[in-house]
Structure 1
Amino acid sequence: MNSRGDRKALRVALVLSELRPGGMERLVVHLATELHNRKIPVQVICLQGLGELAYLLAEKNVPVLSLESHGSKDFSAILRLRKELKKFQPSVINMHDYASLPYVSLGNLLSGRSPLLFTAHGLLYEGFASLQKRNRFFSFFLKGLSAVSEKVSVRHREYLDWKKPIQVIANGVPEVAVSAEKRKFVRDELDCTDSTHLFLAVGNPRPEKGFEDLLAAASKLRDKGLDFLVAIAGTLTENDYCRNLQQQLVDLKLEQHCRFLGFRDDTAALYSAADSFVLSSRSEGLPMVILEAMTAGLPVVATAVGGIPDAVGDHVLLVDAEKPDDLADAMQRIAEDEIMRKDLAEKGKFFVKQNFGVERMVDQYLEWYKAVLSAEC
């Protein structure tokens, strides 16, 4: 192997649209931070704006830049990307969303032709069918494909008509530090008494997150007389789905039992305040938020979608997706059964720490990068 494949020569460019408050974006933050900690040169490139999570990299002095490309077919962005790639001279370029694929493919052709890698994060819930021909075309420029779970691997193999092996690298998360002080602060903010069971949900409201099912389940819990509050943290945008959710909240008269918190940058405090975590998604890859909640010592109720059953199925309470009655029953069980809560919390925290740590994940990414570089020699 030539020097380009040597660890000391490894230089990694991580590319995505924007560091928004989402699971894929948090993975990029964790990956970049750990590479930086290991003294491996890393550059995070955002095709659009920096996004709300960019400050997490800035705090660690991890280089991150934005191309500020906000329109379609922005050919000048390809030239700006070419300039940045020539300056950084990555030995590998790891993309994390399809929006970046055409720009990086063309910018890389003009700058030095480093091996292009793509990491698939989700199950392509909606909006990707019309882009399939484009993405299949640009996938010919890829030297490698990875996925966060086996089910995600199968979905993207079919979507891209990918014939080569796919490297499955499960998400990894750092342990979430919780504290009694943070717990009190957030619960006071939410007017949540000690006897009220606080369910936490985290995710940007989109159809695949199934928050309408969570609201329907909350309505059923209220009718059963349970003392609870559901707090949903995630950026609300001006679209029909978010407007419909807020109208559903009013129509079901759930204002005293459910709260949309919007974007929060104090997730550790939210995990500290919660009594359990709930995920109502209709489609997922391997959600970071479940792993984070488990490291924070929270018992989890989740829908059995995507890579969740295979990854953590024995350590969370699983229900079928799009079935609010089942979700409500599971939430009631976990709220009322203290022994179950403690058992799930303790075993889940240990399991995630052993199997889904950031260091393990980064080790596997590095092995993948080096294998691709060795094949290039």
Structure 2
Amino acid sequence: MNNSKPVIAHLIYRFDIGGLERVMVNCINAMQNEGYQHIVIALTEVSDFAKHLNDSVKVYQLDKKSGKDLKSHWRLLKLLRKIKPDLLHTYNLATIEYHPISRLAGVKAHIHAEHGRDNSDPQGLNKKHNLLRQLISPFVDYFVPVSTDLHQWLDVTVGVSNKKNVLIRNGINIDEFHHLRNHQEDNEHQVRFIHVARLDPVKNQVGLLKAFAILVQRKKLTVNDIYLTVVGDGNEMQALIVLAEGLGISSLIEFTGARSNIAELLSNSDVFVLSSIAEGIPMTVLEAMASSLPVISTNVGGLAELVTDDETGYLVEKQNAEALSSAMEKYINNSKLIKLHGRSARSYIFKHFSEQKMVSEYLRLYQELLGKS
């Protein structure tokens, strides 16, 4: 690639809508005037979500087959030799094995980011996966976890050297959500809950629907009192629709599928609720808090870094539908808490999880590594 600017290659498994991808896109777009050229390489495929990148960013896909596909290493080697990036930035377990090939291609600087544990290993205890991380560690200059939980896990469980283990929390552009209003200002009776995530067992939407049904039945609530919007797509969609019907709550729930207007949906909601079994630092929670929504979440991953009980929302035990239901009931019983906790949530994100801070910390790593090379 003939370019006087240093080239950063971002390698992800699939370039599709998701929290990790949104962080990557936002970060790249925010850096467009910082003297770097960015490219994105998807191991498998690229969706229309790539259109969110600024026009100067080239995107490639390697069409990796499911399972082991050793030829994908060869295809990446040829691509890297062609575009000659100065730094490879990989994301999550599926991409870490490609650092040796990148070294072979002549790429001198290497960063691997951990945005959350693998869905099949939510606690990060898989010995083979952690052995892979240990074996690849000599080829990586810095590991970047996005939460204190992941930072400690890389240190204690995986065994990544503290010198290589650099915490950079996900950040959000607060200004994009500054104009949002709260639904309660227009309707002081109905409390609208919203959940935004891919429909996947690790997000435990089954538990969310059961908790919602417990609340509806216990309080004898109707659509005039409560509503739940489930935003996202995935293999669990049809099963969740059937479950809602079986629980007798389908008239109180909307399944929107994947949506691009998340900010608008948040502006028409009151409380964000997350039922995950495992998480990192979810962008959806940052966006909800920036939109002045309190958050009810299971106490997993980095959520304790975001949610403070009875201040910005409530944390509950994972896979405990009764506890999740009880937390939701607090806002039904006292709607004044919605605005109070929502204001605290926005203030907390402004102070601790700004996009500007995240971008500056990545830039510092890039500058340090490219200075060496």
**TM-score (normalizing by structure 1):** 0.85
- Give the drift of 1:90: 2.4
Counterpart check, 1:233 vs 2:228: no
Residues 151 and 182 of structure 1: CA distance in aligned 2, closer, same or farther (over 3 Å): closer
The answer on whether the counterparts of 2:144 and 2:168 sit within 8 Å (CA) in structure 1 is: yes
Counterpart check, 1:262 vs 2:254: no
What residue in structure 2 maps to residue 155 of structure 1? 153
Counterpart check, 1:26 vs 2:22: yes
What residue in structure 1 maps to residue 301 of structure 2? 306
* Number of residues of Structure 1 aligned to a counterpart in Structure 2: 356
The answer on whether the counterparts of 2:210 and 2:321 sit within 8 Å (CA) in structure 1 is: yes
Pick the aligned partner of 1:315 from 312, 317, 332.
312
- Give the drift of 1:27: 0.9
Residues 119 and 311 of structure 1: CA distance in aligned 2, closer, same or farther (over 3 Å): same
- Give the drift of 1:204: 0.7
The answer on whether the counterparts of 1:182 and 1:269 sit within 8 Å (CA) in structure 2 is: no
Q: How does 1:82-231 map to 2 (within 5 A)?
A: 82-102=77-97, 104-127=98-121, 129=126, 130-165=128-163, 166-175=165-174, 176-177=176-177, 195-223=189-217, 224-226=219-221, 227-231=225-229
Whole-angstrom distance in 2 between the partners of 1:178 and 1:218: 29
Q: AA paired with 1:168?
A: L
- Give the drift of 1:230: 1.1
Whole-angstrom distance in 2 between the partners of 1:253 and 1:141: 54
The answer on whether the counterparts of 1:32 and 1:44 sit within 8 Å (CA) in structure 2 is: no
Residues 362 and 271 of structure 1: CA distance in aligned 2, closer, same or farther (over 3 Å): same
What residue in structure 1 maps to residue 323 of structure 2? 326
Residues 339 and 181 of structure 1: CA distance in aligned 2, closer, same or farther (over 3 Å): closer
Whole-angstrom distance in 1 between the partners of 2:206 and 2:265: 21
- Give the drift of 1:80: 2.8
Q: AA paired with 2:338?
A: R
Q: AA paired with 1:120?
A: E
- Give the drift of 1:373: 4.1
The alignment's C-alpha RMSD in Å is 2.7
Say which SS state the counterpart of residue 140 (structure 1) adopts.
helix
Q: AA paired with 1:324?
A: A
CA deviation digits over 1:189-228, x for unaligned, max 9? xxx9884322110111222212122111110121112321
Say which SS state the counterpart of residue 43 (structure 1) adopts.
strand
Residues 51 and 159 of structure 1: CA distance in aligned 2, closer, same or farther (over 3 Å): farther
Residues 72 and 303 of structure 1: CA distance in aligned 2, closer, same or farther (over 3 Å): closer
What residue in structure 2 maps to residue 16 of structure 1? 12
Whole-angstrom distance in 2 between the partners of 1:350 and 1:135: 37
- Give the drift of 1:158: 4.4
Q: How does 1:350-369 map to 2 (within 5 A)?
A: 350-369=347-366
The answer on whether the counterparts of 1:20 and 1:52 sit within 8 Å (CA) in structure 2 is: yes
What residue in structure 1 maps to residue 52 of structure 2? 56
Structure 1 unaligned spans of 5+: 1-7, 184-191
Say which SS state the counterpart of residue 169 (structure 2) adopts.
coil
What residue in structure 2 maps to residue 72 of structure 1? 67
Q: How does 1:288-303 map to 2 (within 5 A)?
A: 288-303=283-298
- Give the drift of 1:147: 0.5
Whole-angstrom distance in 1 between the partners of 2:191 and 2:63: 43
What residue in structure 2 maps to residue 187 of structure 1? none
More helix by share: 1
Identity over aligned residues, as a percent? Answer: 25
- Give the drift of 1:22: 1.9
Q: AA paired with 2:150?
A: V
- Give the drift of 1:159: 4.8
Pick the aligned partner of 2:275 from 260, 275, 280.
280
What residue in structure 1 maps to residue 32 of structure 2? 36
- Give the drift of 1:178: 7.1
Whole-angstrom distance in 2 between the partners of 1:285 and 1:182: 27
Whole-angstrom distance in 2 between the partners of 1:55 and 1:277: 27
**TM-score (normalizing by structure 2):** 0.86
Structure 2 unaligned spans of 5+: none
Say which SS state the counterpart of residue 168 (structure 1) adopts.
coil
Q: AA paired with 2:166?
A: Q
Residues 159 and 99 of structure 1: CA distance in aligned 2, closer, same or farther (over 3 Å): farther
The answer on whether the counterparts of 1:218 and 1:257 sit within 8 Å (CA) in structure 2 is: no
Q: AA paired with 1:281?
A: S
The answer on whether the counterparts of 1:117 and 1:145 sit within 8 Å (CA) in structure 2 is: yes
Residues 309 and 182 of structure 1: CA distance in aligned 2, closer, same or farther (over 3 Å): closer
The answer on whether the counterparts of 1:92 and 1:116 sit within 8 Å (CA) in structure 2 is: yes
Whole-angstrom distance in 2 between the partners of 1:164 and 1:270: 41
The answer on whether the counterparts of 1:280 and 1:302 sit within 8 Å (CA) in structure 2 is: yes
Q: AA paired with 1:234?
A: G
Whole-angstrom distance in 1 between the partners of 2:301 and 2:37: 33
CA deviation digits over 1:57-78, x for unaligned, max 9? 15x5433222222343333332
Counterpart check, 1:343 vs 2:346: no
The answer on whether the counterparts of 2:91 and 2:113 sit within 8 Å (CA) in structure 1 is: yes
- Give the drift of 1:361: 0.2
What residue in structure 2 maps to residue 4 of structure 1? none
Say which SS state the counterpart of residue 167 (structure 1) adopts.
coil
- Give the drift of 1:260: 2.3
Residues 115 and 159 of structure 1: CA distance in aligned 2, closer, same or farther (over 3 Å): farther
The answer on whether the counterparts of 1:178 and 1:268 sit within 8 Å (CA) in structure 2 is: no
Q: AA paired with 1:330?
A: A
